[in-house]
Chains A and B, each alone.
Chain A
């Protein structure tokens, strides 16, 4: 059984994000990178399947810069067997990423039985890659899954919907599933795991190798800047009872004309 897990490397949640010098992207030099937290659930699920089916092979795939390979190394230290890295700029759009992931999976020559991803990446929050990738590979997909049971060639998954209700799906493999928090508890990479990960294979491709070019871009960024700082709040003095009526009228007026909330 071949299991693929797509992982993205994102800035640590504690990172202070600032635009870079020319405003073409965010400043990445001082960022501490981590595996996208939702992808950790995907990796864990793959490893749970592998535990139950020792013959299963878990390959982690990532598209992004090669300078720091934290996410892939963490996944292998957790127990994934091998990794594939497609070198790309960190601000690729969802369509190009999905196409690159498809190309990378095909490059391995292994036919996927289960592809796992996180439901979204916490950097751009686009929530598109799993669905686009499934379309490109012509696979059924279920996103936001919080339950997973594999029996033969069928996966029974639970997905959370509005109001806390659960939908239950039975899907035949090959299938793409996108994990939500609550699916499982991701394990830590152990110290022996960290040592072993260094010896695990990591294949590397360029975007061209996996058939992606600039023409695939569907989204072009015009610039990055911080939101304007909020101006200081206005204070109204209503201590003088005789003037309260005027003050109220003034506040209501400003809520209409300036804040435009009523």
Chain B
């Protein structure tokens, strides 16, 4: 057994952390406050190869392993969880193509993302179907020489800036999971209507919108796999993407821990740095323990994915544990900062707001527990 990162992974992490510290942290607060989309930072990250890590080398990508990509994502989320949501959404959208696309589809849809800076959205959730994704109502009908997509999507990250959508719909709602299909849609197609940007509690620099599809014509060759294979593609995508989302929570936790270590050594109360008070020490100890445990789970879930092994259970452990502990850690971080923690002048209140979302998207913490129980009791 070997827990060490390779020298290459250490270098990758170094670069991603340097980027996070120099390019993301200085803007995180300001972009969050104003809800500014981090377009230029996103582009710079893409130029350095930090985005679209799921694209295989054969299609011009960096050909990173799942472990490599969680290392990068942790570092970028350390910079800003909100910006990283925008970055990560590209991978969430491209993964179904990597997993379920034909060679021609991969060439056609993935390669442009390696040649130019492009943005993608993953369109699964609907106003009436979130956790119950199997119940989605968006219809994909056969229009002869094309498909016709109609329905409504909700909470779609990057929607306002996307160059490509991967849309999940059903060819027949009566077929339940067996009717679900995944299709690549050009966001500029006639019949697509974007909702207004959601005014969110956290991740405010990321762009989240509803998207309506009014009888949108889509070329036949854009269907990933066969009609009805969408659910299987979505499930496999989750095995890859949950470790990634978990690593984002981990990055936020690591940042909170680092800030608290620093602040507690500087802030003097009762004549000593508050780090000398056992109550503070215990909170910091708890943070360190959870960061380390989350990292082990995230790396294991990603490593299993790289081995081609079944990782559903571990990926859910990683996603739920990393995001739940990020919520606890960032809440304690505000506590350790006292009144200052509650102010936007200091970075920890943002971490607490950002942590919340990671317990919700990509399968809520409750849904992760459903998955775990199903795996354990099967």
Contact = CB atoms under 8 A, between A and B. Distances in A.
Chain B binding surface SS class? helix
B50 interface: yes
Contacts of A73: 11
Instruction: Report which residue of B8, B11, B18, B62 has the largest number of chain A beta carbons within 10 angstroms of its beta carbon.
Output: B11
Interface in A51-73: 73
Nearest to A197: B11
Contacts of A192: 49, 62
A212 to B, nearest CB: 29
B62 A191 contact: yes
Contacts of B11: 73, 77, 194
Nearest to A192: B49
Contacts of B15: 188-191, 194
B48 interface: yes
Chain A binding surface SS class? helix
Instruction: Report which residue of B15, B18, B19, B47 has the largest number of chain A beta carbons within 10 angstroms of its beta carbon.
Output: B15
Interface in B4-46: 8, 11-12, 15, 18-19
- Contact size class for A? 10 to 19
B12 A191 contact: yes
Interface in B61-86: 62
Contacts of B18: 188
Given A188-B18, A189-B15, A194 B47 contact: no
A194 B19 contact: no
B12 A190 contact: no
A188 B50 CA distance: 12
Nearest to B19: A188
A159 to B, nearest CB: 26
A77 B8 CA distance: 12
Nearest to B53: A191
Interface in A164-216: 188-192, 194-195, 198
A194 B19 CA distance: 14
Contacts of B50: 191
B47 A190 contact: yes
A136 B105 CA distance: 61
Contacts of B62: 191-192, 195
Contacts of A195: 8, 62
Contacts of A77: 11
Instruction: Report which residue of A73, A77, A188, A190 has the largest number of chain B beta carbons within 10 angstroms of its beta carbon.
Output: A188
26 contacts: A73-B11, A77-B11, A188-B15, A188-B18, A188-B19, A188-B48, A189-B15, A190-B15, A190-B47, A190-B48, A190-B49, A191-B12, A191-B15, A191-B48, A191-B49, A191-B50, A191-B62, A192-B49, A192-B62, A194-B8, A194-B11, A194-B12, A194-B15, A195-B8, A195-B62, A198-B8
CB-CB nearest 3 A-B residue pairs: A191-B49, A190-B48, A190-B49
Given A189-B15, A191-B48, A194-B8, 8 more contacts: A73-B11, A188-B19, A190-B47, A190-B49, A191-B49, A191-B62, A192-B49, A192-B62
Interface of B: 8, 11-12, 15, 18-19, 47-50, 62
